[in-house]
Amino acid sequence: MLEDSGFVEVGIGDAVDTFGGARGEEQARNFEVYGYAFLARRADG
């Protein structure tokens, strides 16, 4: 999807537990929800 939007050199970081200690933590665990960092640059930049 990022490449289709004109980004190149797309990197995806490791999974991060973004819901630890949050009110929705149990639901996040049930659905295996994690956050990921993305790093990319525009092809024209």
pLDDT of residue 45: 61
Question: Distance of alpha carbon 34 from its chain centroid, rounded?
Answer: 8
pLDDT of residue 36: 95
**Model confidence pLDDT, tens digit, residues 24-43:** 899 998 998 899 999 999 98
pTM reported for the whole predicted model: 0.63
Distance CA 16, CA 36 (A): 6
Mean pLDDT of all residues in 3-12: 94
What type of residue sits at position 7? F
